[in-house]
């Protein structure tokens, strides 16, 4: 449960703040590389491949982490957990922009996620078959 809330917040920080910076760095490195060796050098192809792989990794990372967190939310909380995760994930991104409404949405979504988890675990404990004495 706390994993999902933390994942939503750290994913928003990475997506909004860190990944764009790293993508810009990789693009600048690629530009410098192409400027310094326009005809290609000894390791020109390898360096280009490494820079392209870095750009692709930072582009795919937020998508993959979101899909993984959605899977965890679905396994633990069902469809309502997925909706709540997407809600608090979107709100976390909005918090970084300074929106008061996003802060309130994030907090209410986190509380709702805890409540859903409590009801799910309570219903799981009530459905256990009784133990028969021998």
Tell me how many domains the chain contains: 1
| Angstrom distances, CA of residue 132 to CA of 88, 104, 114, 129 | 44, 48, 33, 9
Structure tokens at 72: 């965890």
- Which pLDDT score, from 0 to 100, does residue 97 have? 80
Which of these, 23, 22, 44, 21, lies nearest to 33 by C-alpha position?
A: 44
41 pLDDT higher than 80: no
Residue 134 located in a structural domain: no
Residue 133 located in a structural domain: no
Which of these, 81, 110, 86, 105, lies nearest to 95 by C-alpha position?
A: 105
What is the rounded CA–CA span in Å between residue 116 and residue 73?
Answer: 11
CA atoms within 13 A on the CB side of 101: 2
Residue 106 located in a structural domain: yes
126 pLDDT higher than 80: no
Residue 72 located in a structural domain: yes
Average pLDDT over every residue of 47-52:
88
Residue 32 located in a structural domain: yes
- Which pLDDT score, from 0 to 100, does residue 62 have? 85
Structure tokens at 120: 């799910």
Long-range contacts of 69-73 (CB under 8 A, 24+ apart): 69/4, 69/7, 69/8, 69/11, 72/3, 72/4, 72/7, 73/4
Range(s) of the domain holding residue 116:
2-126
Residue 132 located in a structural domain: no
16 pLDDT higher than 80: yes
Residue 65 located in a structural domain: yes
Structure tokens at 99: 């929106």
Average pLDDT over every residue of 7-20:
87
Average pLDDT over every residue of 113-129:
77
The 3-state DSSP class for residue 97 equals coil
129 pLDDT higher than 70: no
Q: What is the rounded average pLDDT for all residues in the chain?
A: 85
Average pLDDT over every residue of 90-108:
87
- Which pLDDT score, from 0 to 100, does residue 124 have? 67
Q: Which residue has the higher pLDDT, 133 or 79?
A: 79
Q: How many CB atoms lie within 10 A of CB 109?
A: 22
Evaluate whether 70 touches 8 at the Cβ level (below 8 Å).
Answer: no
Residue 35 located in a structural domain: yes
């Amino acid at each position: 449960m706390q994993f999902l809330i933390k994942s939503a917040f750290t994913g928003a920080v990475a997506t909004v703040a860190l990944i764009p910076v790293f993508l810009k760095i990789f693009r600048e490195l690629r530009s410098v590389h192409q400027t310094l060796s326009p005809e290609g050098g000894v390791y020109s192809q390898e360096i280009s491949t490494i820079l392209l792989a870095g750009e692709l990794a930072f582009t795919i990372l937020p998508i993959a982490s979101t899909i993984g967190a959605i899977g965890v939310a679905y396994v633990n909380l069902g469809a309502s957990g997925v909706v709540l995760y997407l809600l608090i994930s979107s709100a976390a991104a909005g918090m970084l922009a300074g929106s008061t409404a996003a802060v309130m949405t994030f907090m209410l979504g986190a509380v709702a996620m805890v409540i859903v988890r409590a009801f799910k675990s309570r219903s799981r404990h009530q459905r256990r078959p009784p133990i028969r004495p021998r």
